[in-house]
Amino acid sequence: MTSHDADLQISFYFRLKEIKTRYLQSALFSTIERLSVSDIDVDLKKRADPKVLNKLARFGIRAEVFLPVTTILQENPRLVGYYRLLYGISQKEFYKAHGRIRRLEEGSGKRSYSEKEISDVVDLLFPIGEALVRGIDTVSQDIAHELQLLTLGPQLRGGRNTELGKAATARTFALIKEIVRGSIEKETENAISIINSAGRTVLIQFSSDPDIAITERLNSGDRKLVSIEIKGGTDYSNAHNRLGEAEKSHQKARQDGFFEFWTIVRVDLDPIIAKKESPTTSHFFNLDKIEEISTEDAKIFRDLLSSILSIKI
């Protein structure tokens, strides 16, 4: 057994945390809380076979747990992903046939789509939901959740390298949050704000380009401190390609006004070769090493973070 044996499950863990808030039952129920249940019921009665509604009622299950509702998808279009997962439809299969729907599932979640677009999606998915309810002998929230996970597993495995990258970014963000915990003023799922020794706010954002951005708020405007690029792949053979990708992102960040550039990887690099592949990078770090507080890499990472943020760690 090696230290990399848990990588895939760690990546699944962090991805699942994100998916829960977007596409699983917590996302559905939080959306329903913002709506009128009577409006949802009216929508369902317009479409649903009464026998299907009666079966769900016998088990004490709200019908929208299994059946898509126009009102709900208008409020949160990303829940297209909830029903796609429930019905066992892979992303590749679904969006090859219905590419226009992808932007609903992967969008911001805001109400920015026409009623016809939403209605067409419900027309497409509703018969599948009714067939599912008719075809199983027991319906429950647990069964709906388990069916979603059965679809989700292959989806996550199919994008292993992407998932490793997302997990590495989440791990880095979690590490930074733990290091600066004593100075945190406010935190959300994707951002931390701290107060530094000068009394100014520093924002640490978990984003996409760069993966993590650190910015100080000044009266005269934002001062962009650090651009962090994270490459989570563990295969050494592809490390140079990942460094090239990091270099492109750092060059863009430099144009945007950042002045410090960190690249975090999961493999041991020859420092001379690494600098050649990404000359913009100010500091290279190995994620596994900076997570181990006793290592020299971890001490350097914490010292630099303390200096950049102007806080005591």
Per-residue pLDDT reduced to its tens digit, 133-154: 999 999 999 999 999 999 988 7
Task: Determine how many CB atoms are found less than 10 A away from the CB of residue 98.
Answer: 17
Residues 6+ apart with CB under 8 A from 302: 179, 313
Instruction: Report the mean per-residue pLDDT for the chain.
Output: 89
Do 287 and 279 form a contact (C-beta atoms < 8 A)?
Answer: no
Exposure on the CB side of residue 36, measured as CA atoms within 13 A: 4
pTM comes to 0.55
DSSP-derived 3-state class of residue 107: coil
Residue 165 scores a pLDDT above 80: no
Residue 3 scores a pLDDT above 50: no
Phi/psi at 213 (nearest 5 deg)? -120, 135
- Comparing 12 with 231, which gets the higher pLDDT? 231
pLDDT for 108: 58
Query: Distance between CA 277 and CA 84 in Å, rounded?
Result: 41
Query: Distance between CA 245 and CA 98 in Å, rounded?
Result: 31
pLDDT for 114: 82
Task: Determine how many CB atoms are found less than 10 A away from the CB of residue 190.
Answer: 11
Residue carrying the six token digits 């994270």:
230
Residue 2 scores a pLDDT above 50: no
Q: Where does CATH 3.40.1350 sit in the chain?
A: 162-309
Predicted confidence (pLDDT) per residue in 100-136, tens digit: 888 888 875 555 678 888 999 999 999 999 999 999 9
DSSP classification of residue 3: T
pLDDT for 160: 63
Do 87 and 67 form a contact (C-beta atoms < 8 A)?
Answer: no
Percent of the chain scoring above 70 in pLDDT: 93
Bridge-based pairing of strands 201-206 and 184-187 is unpaired
Query: Distance between CA 301 and CA 291 in Å, rounded?
Result: 10
User: DSSP H helical segments within the chain, as ranges?
Assistant: 7-23, 25-32, 37-47, 50-58, 70-75, 80-86, 91-97, 102-105, 115-135, 141-158, 160-179, 239-255, 271-277, 287-291, 296-309
Q: List the CATH code of the domain at 162-309.
A: 3.40.1350
